[in-house]
Amino acid sequence: MSVLLMNPNANAATTVAMLEIARRDLPEITGWTAPRGPQMIIDQDALEAAAKLVAEARIPKVSGVIVSAFGDPGRAALAARQACPVIGIGAASARAAKGRRFAVATTTPALAEAIDRMMTPYDGYVGCYLTPDDPLALMAHSARLDAALNAAVLRAAEEGAEVVIIGGGPLGEAAERLSADSPVPLISPIRAACAEMRDILGLSDGESGVSAPQKEASDPDQKVKK
């Protein structure tokens, strides 16, 4: 079955990196990169522009679509005109928390309100924990990025989070790197969405996106069209 990963950031290198993660669970997944816009979605204006691009995109016939930006831009509008399931990595990661006390650690303070709006409807959400530096500067230096995200995870854990989502499609590689030494399980949004898609399509069991220190099966509750 063919699944399309849509990268609403206009950065082909980010698409390649996200596909590398997604193919651990969905080997045949292919990619789509936004034809224009910012290299990374870091504020509300960029999120809204990305939503328009995704909603209006002409995509090939596939068995499922994963919108791989944490704000799930354009997911609902695209799902309304597609016959296949369309999953956003943001909501999929919240579902992967399965009601435990969970937080989001991310690099985009200008999107904190949008993240809160997305996560608040899910039981157990305790807040968004942000890195202090410019997100684009952090993305250019993996060691600084990892240190900043790890500090945010530690703050969240100290304040009661039982599991932490690393909030961003472009942060997928950092989620993988941080998982082994995290004080609480981390949720990789890309892998959470892939696990949910596998379940919807009736494929063999995949990972839930919970990276460390333990892994659990996903329990998706999203109703999507098949």
**What is the predicted pLDDT for the residue at 209?**
53
**What is the predicted pLDDT for the residue at 218?**
34
**What is the predicted pLDDT for the residue at 87?**
98
**What is the predicted pLDDT for the residue at 211?**
53
The dihedral through the CA atoms of 184, 176, 48, 138 has a sign that is positive
**What is the predicted pLDDT for the residue at 1?**
74
Average pLDDT, consecutive stretches of 10 residues, N- to C-terminus, the chain (226 residues): 94 96 96 94 96 95 97 97 97 97 97 97 97 93 96 98 96 93 96 97 66 38 35
